[in-house]
Amino acid sequence: MNVGNVPFVVAALLVVLGLYTFLFKRNLIKLVIGISLIETGVNLFLVALGYRTAGIAPIYTLAPAGRMVLPTPQALTLTSIVIGLATTALLLSFAVFVYRHYGTLDAGKIKELQG
Amino acid sequence: MNALTVHAPVLLVAVPLLGAFATPLVGRFGRSARNVFVGSVILFTGALAGLMAAHVFGLGEPLVYVLGGADGFGVPLPSGMQVPVRILFEVDAMSAFMALITALVALAGTWYSFSYWRERSGGDLYHSLLLLLTAGIFGMELTGDMFNFFVFLEVTSIAACGLIGFRVWLKHSQEAGFKVMALYTLSGILVLLAVGLLYGEHGGLNIAYLASRVGGSLVDRIALGLLLTGLAMKAGAVPLHMWAPDAYGEAPAPTSAVLVANSQASLYGLFRILFTLYGATVSVGALGWILIAFALLTIAVGVTMALVQRDIKRLIAYSAVSQIGYMLLGVGVGLAVSVARPEFGRTAMHGGIFHMLNDAACIGLLFLASGAVIRASGTRDLNKMGGLAHRMGWTTGFFLIGALALAGVPPLNGFASKFLIYESSFRLSPILAVIAILASIMLLAVFVKVFQAAFLGPASREVGEASTGMLVPMAVLAVTVVILGLFPGFFIDRIVAPAASALWSGRDLYIRAILGG
Amino acid sequence: MNGISSGFGAWNPIAWTLLFAGIFAVAALVRSLGRADAKRGSEQSKVFLSGNDEPSDAAGLHVRGDHLYWGLVEGLAGYYRRVQAMHTGVITDYVAWFVGVLGLVFVILVLVR
C-alpha cells in the first residue's frame, strides 16, 4: 500500500503542534506534554524514513522473499524513545519539586531567577 | 602501555561510565572509600586522556577506533550495498585537544567536590552523576558518528540537569533545573531531527561518510540550520544564553566548572559540523558571519549583564557566557575566510581554540574560588560579603589570578589568546576588535567589583581559610593558568596549532581516514 | 625564543616579565633611598579622612558590590532597562527566542548561495 508522504506530513504536524504547546501554554505539565509531542513527531519521522513500499519487517530468520524496510532508523527510534523517557521523567520530577516550593505550576509566575 | 593507548578512545568513555554506576555500590563502604574510588577513576581517566593526546598529536592524522565489525560483517541494504555494522570513534588533533581540556576541568572539579560536599547523604549519587557527565562529555568529543553524538549530547544533558537540581531543598535550583532541562531537551530533539534529515538524504550516519556526500541542497541547509542553532544554544550564544546564568549559578560550585566543559564540548560539536561535515559546501562567508554576529552579541551582552549582577555565581556565569563569544569570534573569523585561506585566518583559529583552553582553566578556577567564598561568608549576595582577604590569603590570590587572566591582563594566558583574536579580527573588520577589546576592559571592571565586594574591606566575621582539599585543585588550575601564560608559544606550537589545522585544513584527512583512498 | 606572533605583532611574556621585574627593581631601589623614620602602627600610618576620626563602625566604610559602578550603570540606564527586560525568566520566552533565531538562520541559509 503506497502511503505516499502522509507519515512525513503527520510528523511535521506533530512537531509544529508540540512547538505551539511549548511556546504558548503556561502550565509546566503542558510544557512537558509539548516536548513529548515534538519527540513523538521526530520519532515518527525517523521510522517513516526507513519505510519501503510493500516492505516487510527487517528480520532475517524465516524471512519470506521481498524487500525489507531499513533497520537503522528503527534502531535510532528505539534509542530516541528511551532517551525521551529519561528526559520526560527528569522534567516531571523537577515540575513536582517546583510545585512543592512555589505552590504553583504557572510558568509565568516561576521567574524568580531573572535578569 | 601500548594496549592502553590503542584502546584509549573507548576507555575514556567506558571507565567513567562504569565508575559512575559502581560509585553507589562502593559508597556502601563509607565516605572515604567512595572518595578514593572516584578519585582514582578520574585520575586514571585523566592519564588516559594525556596518553591518547600524546599519541594522536604524534600521529599527524586522525586515529580511528572501530566498535563493532571491522571487516566482513555486513548487512545487505535493499539496494544491495553492503554496509558494515559498527560505530566509529575518530580522534583527530581537535578531539584530543578537547579531551585534554575536559580531563583538566573534570579532575579539578571532582577533587574539589570531595571537600565541598558536606551533607550527610547524597554524596554517592552526586559523584556518580559527576562521573556520568564526564563520560558523556568525552563521548561527545571523541565520536565520529552523528547519532552517537546525539546520544552523548542527551547523556550530558540529563547528567548536567540532575546535578543542577541536585539540592532539592533549594527553591531556585529546582526552577533552574526545569528550565535548563526543557531547553536542553528541545535542542537535543532538533539535533536528532537534523541527524534524521541527513540520514534520509544521504543514507549514512558517519561524519566522514556524510562529509563526502553533503552538498548544498535544501535538506542539507535545513539540517545545518537546526544543528547550528541547537548547538549554539547549548554552548550559550546570545540570544539563546538565558539558561546559562541559571545553570551555572544554581549548580554546586565544582559542577559549574564541569558544566563549562560541557558547553565547550557543544561548541566543539558545532565547529566539527561546520568545518568537517559541511566544509565549503555551504557558503562559508555566510556561516562565518553568522558566527561572528553571535559572537559580538555574546561578548557585549554577556559582559554588560555581568556588571549588574548581585549574586556572585550568576556574575561569573555571565562572564563565562561572554568568553564563549571570544571563541566564536576567533573561529568565526577563521571560517569566514577559510576559502581564501589568508594567514590571519589561521591566527584567528589559533586564538579562538587557545581561548577554549584558557577559558576552561580560568572559569574553572573562578567557580572553585567562588565556592570557597560562599562557604566562608555564608551568603551569595555581593552586597553582604566583605573582608575575606584578611584571613583567606590563598583563595584571594587564586581568585585574583583567575580574574586577571580572564580579563586579558598580561602576562597571563588570557592575554595570549585574546591578543591573537584581536589582531586577526582587526584584519577582517576593525569594529570586531574594538568591541572585543572594550568588552575585555569591562570584564576587568566586573572582576574588580567582585574583588572589592568579597575580599576587600574590613573583616566582617570570623572566617578561616578554605580547607586544603579545596585549595589544592584551585592551586593546580592557577599553576596551569600561569604556565600557559608564560609559555604560550610552546603550547600553541604543540597542541593548539595541530588542533586548528585539523579543523582549518584537515577535512580531507578526516574523510580519508575512514573512507580510504 | 618563546614568543608568539600574529601577522602584525609579537608577544613574548618572558621578556615582558623581565622588563617589569626590572622596573619593579628600580622602584624598590628608589623606595629604599627614602626616609627610614616612619613607624608602623603610630599616628603616621593612620588613614586620613579629611581630619575626621575613623568611624567606630568600620564596616560602614566598605563600598558594597552594587554601589561600586553606580555611575557607569546609571549612564547606561537606557540600555540596561531594555536588555534586562528581555531576560524575563519565563521559560516560554526562552523558547520564543530560540524559535526566532532558528527562523532567522533558516532564512539566511536558504537564501544565500
Per-residue pLDDT tens over the stretch B46-67: 999 999 999 999 988 898 888 8
Structural domain range at position C9 = 1-33
Residue A45 domain flag: yes
- Check pLDDT > 70 for residue B82: no
Count interface pairs A-C at CB distance under 8 A: 30
Residue C84 domain flag: yes
Cβ of residue A105 closer than 8 Å to a chain C Cβ: no
Can you give the pLDDT at residue A58? Answer: 83
Residue A96 domain flag: yes
Can you give the pLDDT at residue B74? Answer: 57
Residues of A in contact with B201 (CB under 8 A): none
ipTM of the complex: 0.95
Domain count, chain C: 2
Please name the residue ranges forming H helices in B251-383.
253-271, 284-307, 312-336, 343-377
- Check pLDDT > 80 for residue B79: no
Cβ of residue A111 closer than 8 Å to a chain C Cβ: yes
Q: Which of B 234-273 lie inside 8 A of C, CB atoms?
A: 239-240, 242-243
- Chain C: residues touching A (Cβ < 8 Å): 84, 87-92, 95-96, 99
Domain count, chain A: 1
Cα–Cα distance, B70 to B88 (Å, whole number): 10
Residue C55 domain flag: no
Torsion of CA B330, B333, B338, B339, to 10 degrees: 180
Query: Which tens digits make up the pLDDT trace of C79-91?
Result: 999 999 999 889 9
- Check pLDDT > 70 for residue B399: yes
Cβ-defined contact of C112 to B344 (cutoff 8 Å): no
- Rounded mean pLDDT of B98-127? 91
Q: Which long-range contacts (CB under 8 A, 24 or more apart) does C58-63 make?
A: C58/B458, C59/B386, C59/B387, C59/B457, C59/B458, C59/B460, C61/B457, C61/B458, C62/B386, C62/B387, C62/B456, C62/B457, C62/B458, C63/B452, C63/B457
Single-letter residue type at B145: D
pLDDT > 70: percent of chain B: 96
Structural domain range at position A82 = 6-102
- DSSP conformational letter for C53: P
Cβ of residue A60 closer than 8 Å to a chain C Cβ: no
**Nearest chain B Cα to C72, which residue?**
B307
Question: Which residue did the predictor score with more confidence, C39 or B168?
Answer: B168
Residue A107 domain flag: no
Cα–Cα distance, B503 to B396 (Å, whole number): 38
Instruction: State the CATH number of the domain containing residue A43.
Output: 1.10.287
Banded pLDDT at C11 (limits 50, 70, 90): confident
| CB of A73 closer than 8 Å to CB of A47 | yes
Residue C51 domain flag: no
Cβ of residue A79 closer than 8 Å to a chain B Cβ: yes
Banded pLDDT at B385 (limits 50, 70, 90): confident
* Chains touching C, CB cut-off 8 Å, 3+ pairs: A, B
Cβ-defined contact of B286 to C109 (cutoff 8 Å): yes
SS percent in chain C: helix, strand, coil, step 5: 60, 5, 35
- Check pLDDT > 70 for residue C2: no
